[in-house]
Amino acid sequence: MSALFREQLLAAAGQAAFPVERTLDPATGEEVFDAASEATLAQVFSLFGITALTPQDEDVDKVINTACTLATEVAAHVQGLIAAGGALDMLEEAGDWHPAYRAYISALWQGERDEVARCAQELKLSAGIPNGSLPLEAGPLA
């Protein structure tokens, strides 16, 4: 499961690495994500343990910031761990990471969804990452 989970995680992250554009809904005149973008965002949030934020959230900046942070920074750390064969101590930069973030990256690498969700909650990521947040490596969000 872990290899399949990592493959899905990195594929979804690759799709969400660039901010998605919102378009005008012809029926309501409101800006919305298209169906494909919404599906990608929902998948990224699910895989990374983001349980209290949806692509339809009113705080669009938080939705985009969360997706971009997960798809670039966090996914890069997971890729580094994959390259290190799962040995967190082999990642030079990991020595400076907060223990909760180390646990989160390790859970993502292992592909244990319950543990990913628990670690995301410990980092206070469940509701997304607001703009201006400190790097996740520093520990739980304020």
Per residue in 14-35, pLDDT (tens digit) is: 777 665 678 888 888 888 888 8
What is the tens place of the pLDDT at every residue in 49-72?
999 999 999 999 999 999 999 998
Beta-strand ranges (E) seen in 47-111 are: none
Question: b or e along 46-81 (b: 16 or more beta carbons within 10 Å of the residue's beta carbon)?
Answer: ebbbbeebebebeeeebbbbbbbbbbeebbebbebb
The mean pLDDT value for 83-102 works out to 88
Mean pLDDT over residues 100-119, rounded?
94
Contact 36, 45 (CB under 8 A): no
